[in-house]
Structure 1
Amino acid sequence: MKKIFLFLLLCPLLAMSQQKTSDEDQIKAVILKTFSAMKSVDSVALKSCFTSNALLHISQVKPEGNVVREVPATKFIQNVMTRKPGEMDERVLSWGPILIDQEIATAWVPYEFYLNGKFSHKGVDVFIFVKSGNEFKIKTLLYNMHQ
């Protein structure tokens, strides 16, 4: 009887754990798909990673102070499409925390960026995701750039 009770008690915890892992894997896959689409200059794949009204916020430290630019994802995608395949190469350095609560999630991802095969800069991408149907999509991407 005790074994049945323990099993019934643990089943929901195991299901939640499996769902979280599945969601984390999906979030990582969206990030990797974004980077791959940038590298291959694939507008369809890149667009599929973002919500229709997604925004990017780029933080740069300049002599006059910290400057944060806001760019609609549509403009970002247009800029990527002006590149040649292989020109842009963003690489995940490590997976920071990925936090999920139902239909929202965040991911902290240190990265390095290469332009034409040469190191350009590094920084951290902070993704905010929303789940639409069964898919997580990027709602906001905040990143910084430094040497």
Structure 2
Amino acid sequence: MNKRILICGILSFLVCFSAFSQTDEKEVKAVIQSLFDGMRAKNAEQVAAAFAADAIMQTIIAKPEGNTVGTNSVSDFVKRIGSTPAETQLDERISDYQINVDGAMATAWTPYRFYVNGNFSHCGVNSFQLVKMSEGWKIVYIIDTRRKEPCEE
């Protein structure tokens, strides 16, 4: 009898833990989707809401003499999105989400293809670090790669 109770307790814990993890993964994905939806809509407030106040944005810059890392401020990125001309359409299309969560920390690996006015510009991978704060999941760090090819479909 005690073995059955113990086994039922363990199974209940695993089911509950899995449910919480899936909920966190969905919430992390929703933050990232909201970021890119805001970018497509040129909604600076929506873009800014995805980030923590002191978030860091970086990109790997491929050069013949060796890779370097460039840093952008979130506030500059938000301003650029908000001031994008009406006729310019920016569309970052995520092809996959690989999300891992440990408590209040999450990481997301998202291959993408980027289009400007419907024309392919570049592709790469975003690596997001997120933290669950009092107001929900926020991006605290993002670094990406950018290239013309090869690109995943």
In the superposition, the TM-score normalised over structure 1's length comes to 0.93
1:63 CA displacement: 3.0
Report what 2:69 is aligned to: 68
Separation (CA, whole Å) in 2 of partners of 1:5 and 1:130:
34
Separation (CA, whole Å) in 1 of partners of 2:116 and 2:68:
22
Report what 1:142 is aligned to: 143
Separation (CA, whole Å) in 2 of partners of 1:78 and 1:32:
19
Paired residues, what number?
A: 146
Q: Which has more strand, going by share of residues?
A: 1
Report what 2:90 is aligned to: 88
Tell me whether 1:41 sits opposite 2:42 in the alignment.
yes
Distance 1:53 1:82, change over 3 A: same
Q: Which secondary structure state, in structure 2, belongs to the residue aligned with residue 84 of structure 1?
A: coil
- For the aligned residue pairs, the C-alpha RMSD in angstroms reads 1.4
Q: Which secondary structure state, in structure 1, belongs to the residue aligned with residue 40 of structure 2?
A: helix
1:65 CA displacement: 2.4
Read off the aligned partner of 1:88 and give its amino acid letter.
L
Report what 1:7 is aligned to: 8
Structure 1 residues without counterparts, runs of 5 or longer: none
Read off the aligned partner of 2:6 and give its amino acid letter.
F
Report what 2:151 is aligned to: none
Separation (CA, whole Å) in 2 of partners of 1:18 and 1:139:
25
Percentage of pairs with the same residue: 33
Read off the aligned partner of 1:87 and give its amino acid letter.
Q
CA contact (8 A) 1:104 1:130 kept: yes
CA contact (8 A) 1:53 1:72 kept: no
Report what 2:30 is aligned to: 29
Separation (CA, whole Å) in 1 of partners of 2:70 and 2:117:
24
User: Mean alpha-carbon deviation: is it higher for 70-79 or for 122-131?
Assistant: 70-79
Distance 1:134 1:7, change over 3 A: farther
Q: Which secondary structure state, in structure 2, belongs to the residue aligned with residue 52 of structure 1?
A: strand
Separation (CA, whole Å) in 1 of partners of 2:59 and 2:129:
14
Separation (CA, whole Å) in 1 of partners of 2:82 and 2:145:
22
Separation (CA, whole Å) in 1 of partners of 2:10 and 2:91:
47
Structure 2 residues without counterparts, runs of 5 or longer: 149-153
CA contact (8 A) 1:51 1:138 kept: yes
In the superposition, the TM-score normalised over structure 2's length comes to 0.89
1:4 CA displacement: 3.2
Q: For residues 30-86 of structure 1, what are the alpha-carbon distances to aligned partners after superposition, in whole Å with 9 as ceiling and x for unaligned?
A: 111111000001111111100011110011202342121111211111111121356
